[in-house]
């Protein structure tokens, strides 16, 4: 057994993760090797060291911290109840949302309404509207003899004339 293999097996045995067969094999090896026994002991002592130091030095929980935890615990609903509440709430929401999720099928009444609407005076109303629209377009076109760009140019020229040419009185 090489040193690394021995170390790993010792650690696994100490953590309870070594198989029964390997444990027996390791036990036999330890019986024959005092150095390996010393290493086993050393590992245990060095792991105890931190627990000892913690028991000496770790301070008690701060009162404020404890109060916050206590307060959180009191406002929190115990787990199993909250889980079932969440499931129940989910089902209720799903049932409520069901009509919105499934699109309604078109009923015979709708079909009749559609067919009825095709013979209604709606078409004539549309025709009236398009006539009015055409009139408006013609009116706008008559006012559009000067294009927008032309209007802008004229405005700009007048402005330059005002700025650059002296007033008529001064000539």
Is the separation of the CB atoms in 40 and 46 below 8 Å? no
Kindly tell me which residue out of 2, 32, 80, 163 binds other proteins, with binding defined by CB under 8 A: 80
The CA-atom distances, in angstroms, between 54 and each of 28, 41, 57, 63 are: 35, 20, 5, 20
Q: Cα separation of 18 and 24, whole Å?
A: 10
25: exposed, middle or buried (Cβ count in 10 Å: 0-12, 13-18, 19+)? middle
Closest approach of other proteins to the CB of residue 73, in Å = 4
Is the separation of the CB atoms in 26 and 18 below 8 Å? yes
Task: Using the rule CB under 8 A, give the single segment among 79-87, 92-100, 110-118, 154-162 that binds other proteins.
Answer: 79-87
Closest approach of other proteins to the CB of residue 90, in Å = 14
Kindly tell me which residue out of 2, 16, 96, 161 binds other proteins, with binding defined by CB under 8 A: 16
**Residues contacting other proteins: total by CB under 8 A:** 50
Q: Which residues bind other proteins (CB under 8 A)?
A: 4, 7-8, 11-17, 34, 37-38, 41-63, 65-66, 68-70, 72-74, 76, 78-80, 82-83
């Amino acid at each position: 057994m090489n040193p690394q293999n021995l170390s790993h097996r010792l650690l696994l045995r100490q953590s309870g993760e070594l198989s029964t067969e390997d444990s027996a094999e390791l036990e036999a090896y330890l019986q024959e090797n005092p150095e390996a026994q010393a290493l086993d002991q050393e590992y245990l002592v060095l792991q105890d060291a931190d627990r000892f130091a913690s028991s000496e030095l770790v301070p008690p929980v701060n009162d404020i911290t404890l109060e916050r935890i206590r307060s959180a615990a009191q406002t929190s609903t115990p787990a199993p109840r909250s889980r079932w509440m969440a499931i129940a709430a989910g089902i209720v929401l799903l049932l409520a949302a069901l009509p919105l999720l499934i699109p309604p099928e078109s009923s015979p009444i709708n079909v009749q309404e559609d067919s009825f609407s095709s013979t209604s005076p709606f078409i004539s109303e549309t025709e009236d509207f398009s006539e009015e629209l055409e009139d408006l377009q013609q009116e706008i076109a008559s006012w559009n003899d000067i294009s927008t760009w032309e209007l802008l140019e004229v405005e700009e020229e007048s402005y330059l004339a005002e700025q650059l040419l002296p007033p008529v009185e001064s000539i």
